Homo-oligomer: A and B are copies of this chain.
């Protein structure tokens, strides 16, 4: 069976069906999506190619379940989400393995994602019992002003393949804890992590209809549209590309749904001449090449101040040369494949464009022959500001270096894009650290660090990088504020 392809301790975590109203189901017309391992191009298994009808059923099931789930106490939501979190811990190894096999990232990184994924369940479980309302002093002596929080209702959740597990718990954990029910559409590249999670939720006793999963690839247009326009849905949470984000946001407007969006970034990574260069190199490696450059908070543009530019570039190249690229399931592999052929094509385009505009190839620069969608870790130097790579997300293992002279100049460059998710810089001076952190037009800033993600911090962007924040107080995105005036 295909389940055995995963080599799990517990093969029953692999599910080949969608999940609606507490039941595992096929597509009505029996269509299927083939899922392959990007490191080997081997077949991992099939999941249903669902469409409009299944989506409507899933929404209907969620709506029905909401009528009782919304009445669970915060303590009960706390319990369900906690139980799921504990079950998750128990299957850490299998879940990490699934991630590596369908996404390609090295096993160590997949385990890191598992911890990150679990941290959202734990966090939101704890937030459930802290969805405090407020008593507001009244200007009118005969009224008492009370503000409470209530779940918004049915939530549509659409997630990407680069974090097959964590992007789901980040949204679904919040929805569950808030008292919402959900329809989840995982990406066709990595559905098995999502389905395994739902299997665990099922075992944890989450009632039928509270979580529903619709898998789709060819029908994604009509499924996505239904998820964002159906009048029973009151909230959409999406992580993915900016163009799709805008499309779904537009759909949402017709029925005034609440929307949380985490779309693309184009993160600047700045190294000032008062930085600790070793730390900056280490940070750049983590920030640029994690997931082979396929995260939305990866550094996309590396700006280095002129006096240390050469040194930084050479130290970076040294480190990159030591990478071990290969099948992430194997011991010692530091970097895996890209997700698919289209990803490689974009990388190639960005590199050739940069070179045609005068950039120099310092390291790598080409795909790695053989099966699997591998691309050599690449460093480009002297990349001009107008290169494609400085203006849109590469989502691949290409470090693009640009030299700058002054703080003012580099801030102008860094902010000259329509998006603003993350930004990074290295400097030891406390004044500059505050000043530059405040001046970067992004939602999240890493100073003297290349890694910023934690469940406890508000994750999200400004400008065209998104709306809303996840983690931190993110449960509020799944709740309505209700004001009650008590007339005495």
Contact = CB atoms under 8 A, between A and B. Distances in A.
A146 B146 contact: yes
A343 interface: no
Given A252-B253, A483-B458, A467 B258 contact: yes
Nearest to A125: B126
A23 interface: no
Contacts of A447: 430, 484-487
Contact of A430 (B254, B429, B443, B472): B429
Interface string A437-473: 1100011111111001010111110111111010010
Interface stretch (A8-16, A57-65, A134-142): A134-142
A135 B437 CA distance: 14
A139 B130 CA distance: 11
A7 interface: no
Contacts of A146: 135, 146
B132 A130 contact: no
A447 B245 CA distance: 40
A176 B155 CA distance: 34
Nearest to A469: B481
A144 interface: yes
A482 B444 contact: yes
Given A74-B137, A249-B253, A250-B254, A449 B483 contact: no
A488 B435 contact: yes
Nearest to A134: B132
Nearest to A147: B458
Given A140-B73, A462-B480, A150 B488 contact: no
A447 to B, nearest CB: 6
A4 interface: no
A256 B261 CA distance: 9
Contacts of A460: 481
Interface residues of A, number: 88
B253 A444 contact: no
A485 B256 contact: no
Interface in A224-274: 231, 234, 242, 245-246, 249-250, 252-256, 258, 261, 263
Contacts of A131: 137
- Identify the interface centre among A138, A256, A443, A447: most chain B CB within 10 Å of its CB: A256
Interface string A103-119: 00000000000000000
Contacts of A435: 488
A86 to B, nearest CB: 9
A469 B479 CA distance: 13
Contacts of A485: 444-447, 449, 452, 457
A459 B483 contact: yes
Contacts of A253: 246, 249-250, 252-253
A428 interface: yes
Contacts of A428: 428-431
A480 B442 CA distance: 9
B75 A137 contact: yes
30 contacts: A73-B137, A73-B140, A73-B141, A74-B137, A75-B138, A129-B137, A130-B130, A130-B137, A132-B134, A133-B134, A134-B134, A136-B456, A136-B457, A137-B456, A139-B456, A145-B454, A146-B146, A256-B464, A428-B430, A430-B433, A430-B448, A443-B482, A445-B482, A446-B487, A447-B485, A447-B486, A449-B485, A457-B483, A459-B483, A462-B480
Interface of A: 71, 73-75, 126, 128-148, 150, 152, 231, 234, 242, 245-246, 249-250, 252-256, 258, 261, 263, 279, 283, 418, 427-431, 433-435, 437-438, 442-449, 452, 454, 456-460, 462-467, 469, 472, 480-488
